[in-house]
Amino acid sequence: MSATTWVQLGVLLLVLVGAAAHNLAVSHWFIEDAAIDFAYAKHLAEGEGFVPTPGGEVVEGYSNPTWLAILVVLHAVGFELFDVVHWLGFGLSMTTVVLSWLLAREVMGTKTFAVLIPPGFLAASSQFGIWGTAGLENPLWNLLMAIGMWRMAVEMRDDELDRFRYPWSSVAWLLLSLTRPEGILYAALAGFFHMCWTVARKRTVVPTILWLVTYFVPWTAYQIWHYETFAWYVPNTFYGKVDRKEQHALTWTHRAWNWTRSYWRDVGQGFFLPIWVLGAIGDGGWRYFAALVQIAVIGLVCQLGADQRYLLLLLIGLFWGVFALGLRRTEEHPPRWLMALGTVFALTLAAASEIARSHGMAPTLIPMPALAKVIPPFVLMGTAAVMPVLGIGSRGWSSRVPAWLFVCAAIGFAVYSQGDWMKGFRWYAMATVPGSILFAWGATSAGRLVEELFELVPAVDPRPLVGWTGMGVAAVLTGLQVPGNVMATNKVAGALDPAPRGILPRVEYVRKLTERIHYDEPIADADVDMGAHLYWSDFKMLDIAGLVDVPFAHQRFETPFVREYLFEEEKPIYIHIHGGWATNSRIPSHPEFRRDYVEVPGFPAGKNLHIGNYIRRDAILETEWPHEAPGVQLEDDVVLYRPFTPASAGTGKQAYVEIGVGDTTKGFRKKVRDDFRVLLFATDGERVLRTWDIPPGYDWVTPREWKPDEVFVGRFELPVGDLPIGSWDLGMVALRSDGTVIAADPASAAEAGAVVGGTDEVPAVFARGEVRFPAQLTIMSVEDRGAACTAVYDRLFELAAKGSCDEAESAWDMARWHRAGEQDWERKHEPRVELALSECWAISSDQAPDDEERIRRLLRAKRWSFRTEAFASRAERLAEELEQQGLQARATEDWETAYRLFSDAVHLDGTRTFSRKWAEEARAFRLGIDPEKLAVRDAEEAARKAEGHPTRRQRKGVRLPLTPHVPRPEDPEDDP
């Protein structure tokens, strides 16, 4: 190797140290969405399929197949993804830095130190650093981009026009296309440019044909498999994030452009506009004037169409450019002192303007017509198309032009997708590698311009890419990338977006909520932030954001859909909604939400409680006491029911008890009265042996909030402590907020088989007005309790084998009640029970009188275990029958029947993605939210808006919970 190469390697090593430090600045953090990929990888590696939750529907809730494939392999060989992926991303990023150096040597030559600019740019880049270790596909994307550009440069060497090189770059572009959905846009640009260059320079189409075959044969095969597997052409994430958004790519003041403008301002890349333009157009002669015109057009359009914050600096720069280029044009050898004086004057004027602004002396804004806020997108698209044409024929144009096109593709996608909720401008991480090459060419062109203006061109022939003076200018420009990018990284690091482990407390909170109310059915949870939920729970997630939820992704928040899907079909036990998601989804405005859900206390999140937690009301309050026992009437229209104690408790263990407290107020409106407490006590009839506090409504729904005739059914596991073996009375006392007893009616108590203490006949044990239920709690020795549990447990399998599935389920309940509070015992025996009950229900479906009952029994089997052969074989056959019947109904446009058939089919067999697709199609037609009707409605809304009338949403209004919302960094739902 030459001395130059050794020096380059030494500097590259220093650059790698800087890049490593930048990447490691936030390497302790994963973005929450990364755990979605981790969950899919785990499920795939464990044989569950492409499902967000084991046993769930097949949904393409990811958009990065190549990245997912790597994660699957890592999980399959035993790596913990949360440990290894940081280092994987770090390694890929460092490899990309080295590849950018090799790419630069390929396109710029090996003898110039300008080849160190791309690695330096990447090391400084905030987007390259933040997203390199965040757990998403960005480092893999950057690596493939670098490989593709490098290999394309090798295949387009000017000095080897007669040499045949197989177009292996197409493989890199293929993998890039499979890394993100928009990757095909980059591949198309690369393939088109490769074809044009090859045909023009080599006069042959053979490399192009080979490129197309190498790319499109596997790509087409993948697309066929993809469509057959998922039933949709693009990932579900696209439909959830982008598909139903109203496009504003041509609206300068909309978020679509505001997000991109924020990037160029906040990271400081807008100040490098001359470098980007020179990078695309090149240097020398007329190109400098063309670049100046492009800078003027882009800069003026952007500033005059916005707040004009940097307009004065732009004008100073333009005047300096006109002065410098004009002087150089009119004078063969312009005086250096004059050029230097003009430069110093421009810099001084710029500094003075900023100092004056900092003292409150801002320039007056130039009045602009409304057109100024309309034309920027059109002008920017025009200049983006013109500049690569101007760049053709310039030095290194075969790498300048593709780099410019790739950067424009990244900008176009960012505008089309209207940005991203994550901090750190993730979409611009996709542009860092081509941006590094474009910046390197622009910086060297700026250096050559300085050399020419000050007549410092090296006196050698041929002239090098850039002399030492120009190289110094380029190095300074590269160094100026550091401050803005580092500040941007620090800003993100100081207020990181939610990480999976930051959402994990919410997962545990939901689990504990359901454990407290003894909710025994599978947990259905409506929420956002899917990563932690999918990785650490087995909940059925209803993804309000639509990433892993096909119905939400395609129907969004249409009122009829939300009413049917959320409140009539799924009825999640828990809904987490507030802030921006509450406003945009309008879920809290539905009367069904206010009727069926109650807000419960939140969980700690920083210094406050995390709000927006709602649980289904009927899990706490029912319309009647579910057990056969009359209630005891108390004063204030309160009624107490005999405690339900189905199983004996062991000494020193816990007893399962259900407590019923009702309200017998009649009429539509109940009178407002004070809340009350209930105390439960065990007694031998003479003394109190043990007491327990029973919070009515779990203290989540206080008695004053109960509706008429609602009954609180509280399920508790109560420690029996040192209660001796035997049968004991259970007594209940209701206390008003002032401590007085709500007395019971003796006659009512007698009808319920209870006694009221504190009367002339029955003395009080705890308080006058108490209600006592004789021999209601039985305490056994631990051994006897275990024997009773074992007998019931064994009986369960006998019942299941005979096909008495309901009785077998009841036996399992009884066994668990005997072992109240012993979760380890339950977890140990649950797998065997699940298999037995699943087989029982599946086999019993053969005797079902009709398809409806057959479906019900099979779904009950699936509730226990979807892995049994008895269930899987029957569910697959029935789902196939239902799907075929659904297709017949679809052909006749019987949307109601089609929807029910397709829905049942996919519920039975989650791999039937086409059934889900057709079900959502039928749902849309049934509910009047099909594309045609929505288009008519939107047109009417647009007309009303144009006429100044209130829109449908403005007329309807949005009713939100009264709970105040304080946005927190932990809440990605604040910005859907």
Report the DSSP beta bridge partners of residue 661. 640, 712
Confidence category of residue 97, pLDDT binned at 50, 70, 90: very high
Quick: pLDDT tens for 71-85: 999 999 999 999 999
Domain extent listing, the chain? 3-30+63-308+365-494, 500-618, 621-778, 781-844, 868-928
961, pLDDT greater than 50: no
The verdict on pTM exceeding 0.85 is: yes
- Taking residues 588-614, what's their average pLDDT? 92
pLDDT of residue 946: 78
User: Contact, 786 vs 650, CB < 8 A?
Assistant: yes
User: Contact, 500 vs 29, CB < 8 A?
Assistant: no
851, pLDDT greater than 90: yes
Q: What does pLDDT average to over the chain? A: 92
pLDDT of residue 671: 53
pLDDT of residue 63: 95
Q: What DSSP state is assigned to residue 534?
A: H
- Taking residues 530-542, what's their average pLDDT? 97
Residue 957 — left, alpha, or beta (φ > 0 → left; ψ -120 to 50 → alpha)?
A: left
Residue type, 949: H
- Taking residues 537-553, what's their average pLDDT? 96
Name the token pair of 803: 């096909």
- Taking residues 329-342, what's their average pLDDT? 88
pLDDT of residue 950: 66
Confidence category of residue 628, pLDDT binned at 50, 70, 90: confident
Q: Report the sign of the C-alpha dihedral through residues 58, 61, 67, 71, in that order.
A: negative
pLDDT of residue 464: 80
668, pLDDT greater than 60: no
Distance CA 130, CA 142 (A): 13
- Taking residues 588-611, what's their average pLDDT? 92
Higher-confidence position of 203 and 933: 933
797, pLDDT greater than 50: yes
User: Contact, 409 vs 384, CB < 8 A?
Assistant: no
Distance CA 710, CA 620 (A): 10
Confidence category of residue 331, pLDDT binned at 50, 70, 90: confident
Confidence category of residue 243, pLDDT binned at 50, 70, 90: low
Residue 495 CA neighbour count, 13 Å, CB half:
11
788, pLDDT greater than 50: yes
- Provide the CATH topology of domain 621-778: Immunoglobulin-like (2.60.40)
pLDDT of residue 952: 57
625, pLDDT greater than 90: yes
- Taking residues 378-393, what's their average pLDDT? 95
- Taking residues 930-939, what's their average pLDDT? 89
Quick: pLDDT tens for 868-927: 999 999 999 999 999 999 999 999 999 999 999 999 999 999 999 999 999 999 999 999
Confidence category of residue 701, pLDDT binned at 50, 70, 90: very high
Distance CA 145, CA 527 (A): 35
User: Contact, 592 vs 572, CB < 8 A?
Assistant: no
pLDDT of residue 939: 86
667, pLDDT greater than 60: no
pLDDT of residue 545: 94
Look at residue 253 and give its three-state secondary structure: coil
pLDDT of residue 974: 39
pLDDT of residue 230: 97
pLDDT of residue 159: 74
pLDDT of residue 158: 80
- Taking residues 952-958, what's their average pLDDT? 52
Look at residue 285 and give its three-state secondary structure: coil
Confidence category of residue 245, pLDDT binned at 50, 70, 90: low
- Taking residues 757-777, what's their average pLDDT? 93
962, pLDDT greater than 60: no
Confidence category of residue 200, pLDDT binned at 50, 70, 90: confident
- Taking residues 501-518, what's their average pLDDT? 96
Percentage of residues of the chain with pLDDT beyond 90: 83
970, pLDDT greater than 60: no
pLDDT of residue 203: 79
pLDDT of residue 673: 60
